[in-house]
């Protein structure tokens, strides 16, 4: 007698720049977690291409699939409702609707329910991470720093305690900060920088991004980055230095590697300052949050969250500890959280 293959649970996080997929088995063990480039602003065909690659790499015909998204915001779509609908249309080209569930603010939705309740589907990936984390960490401050954005979510009494749910609300409240470890243009952090003892006004161009700084400071390795750099050149140190130099209107040979690293530290400080301000704004709305509760770091930029914990004088907990120390799973936290949440719920039902 042939034994049917065990059901696995695939979590999909469809962003504007990346597709992230995590899988767990029916025991809740993380099997894999990957990130694929998906510049959705260039058209829905980019998502189709990423989906095909993901299925070639990961798919098990017996998988159940659970999806969240933030890509509906990209400017290829007329509005967010259209974006949600178009992403759903793309998904059902590859996944049978009877094996597909969409993550919403109040639980799992079918594809057709997600079309109607699109406001509860759009940009809810942070809530998946927060819900899974709060079940294990009763109280704390979840800080998920991805390539593009930072989510700051207070956890209390075993539940997420956000004040806002959509991006418009969350950007006002400090719960969503548009700064990330790789893709953020450095000109978005500051208009000037110190170099050779002087303040230099920066070119208002996307000549360099935060990924350049964190690579130069050895917090990121080029192998971790699937994004294209600002000039399309690799993420090795000499290229990062040249991109920083362009912001000053000069070339990398104008200064030493030590000088470019010091400049990278300046930008890193400005980014940490921005994330600290957002976190303090969120904490100010939750004065009863235990000051000894941890900062829980998630995302590919969670090394910044560890620095934040020191600033806030709180202990630090790496989300990888909740994912069996699977570092890639913590890099792509919402996708992993979706897979694990689904496994917990649907295994119980079975």
**CA 277, CA 272: separation in Å to the nearest integer?**
9
pLDDT 10s digits, 162-201: 999 999 999 999 999 999 999 999 999 999 999 999 999 9
* CB contact at 8 A, 239 and 208: no
Distances (CA, A) of 11 to 30, 63, 214, 321: 11, 10, 28, 19
**CA 34, CA 27: separation in Å to the nearest integer?**
20
State yes or no: pLDDT of 60 exceeds 80.
no
Residue-by-residue DSSP string for 311-330: HHT--EEEGGGGGTT-HHHH
CA atoms within 13 A on the CB side of 231: 18
Sorted by sequence, the CB contacts under 8 Å of residue 328 that are 6+ apart come out as 32, 33, 34
Which pLDDT value is given to residue 349? Answer: 55
What's CA 323's distance to the chain center, in Å? 16
pLDDT 10s digits, 83-107: 999 999 999 999 999 999 999 999 9
Q: 0.85 cut: is pTM over it? A: yes
pLDDT 10s digits, 200-255: 999 999 999 999 999 999 999 998 899 999 999 999 999 999 999 999 999 999 99
Which pLDDT value is given to residue 1? Answer: 43
């Amino acid at each position: 007698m042939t034994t049917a293959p065990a059901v696995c649970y695939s979590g999909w996080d469809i962003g504007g720049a990346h597709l992230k997929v995590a899988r767990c088995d029916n025991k809740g063990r993380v099997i894999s977690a990957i990130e694929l480039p998906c510049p959705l602003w260039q058209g829905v065909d980019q998502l189709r291409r990423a989906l095909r690659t993901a299925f070639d790499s990961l798919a098990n015909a017996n998988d159940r699939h659970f999806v969240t998204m933030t890509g509906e915001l990209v400017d290829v779509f007329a509005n967010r409702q259209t974006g949600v609908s178009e992403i759903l249309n793309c998904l059902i080209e590859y996944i049978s609707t009877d094996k597909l569930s969409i993550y919403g603010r109040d639980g799992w939705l079918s594809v057709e329910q997600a079309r109607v309740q699109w406001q509860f589907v759009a940009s809810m990936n942070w809530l998946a991470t927060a819900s899974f984390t709060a079940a294990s960490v009763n109280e704390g401050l979840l800080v998920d720093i991805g390539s593009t954005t930072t989510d700051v979510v207070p956890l209390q009494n075993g539940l997420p305690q956000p004040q806002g749910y959509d991006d418009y609300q969350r950007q006002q409240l400090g719960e969503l900060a548009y700064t990330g470890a790789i893709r953020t243009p450095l000109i978005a952090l500051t208009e000037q920088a110190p170099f050779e003892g002087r303040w230099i006004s920066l070119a208002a161009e996307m000549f360099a991004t935060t990924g350049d700084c964190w690579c130069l400071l050895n917090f990121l390795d080029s192998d971790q980055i699937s994004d294209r750099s600002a000039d399309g050149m690799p993420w090795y140190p000499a290229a990062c230095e040249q991109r920083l130099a362009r912001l000053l209107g000069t070339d990398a040979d104008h200064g030493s590697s030590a000088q470019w690293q010091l400049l990278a530290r300046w930008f890193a400080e400005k980014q940490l300052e921005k994330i600290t301000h957002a976190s303090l704004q969120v904490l100010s709305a939750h004065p009863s949050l235990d000051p000894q509760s941890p900062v829980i770091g998630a995302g590919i930029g969670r090394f910044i969250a560890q620095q934040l914990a020191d600033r806030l004088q709180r202990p630090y907990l790496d989300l990888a500890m909740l994912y069996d120390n699977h570092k890639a799973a913590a890099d792509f936290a919402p996708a992993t959280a979706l897979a694990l949440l689904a496994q917990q719920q649907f295994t119980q039902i079975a």
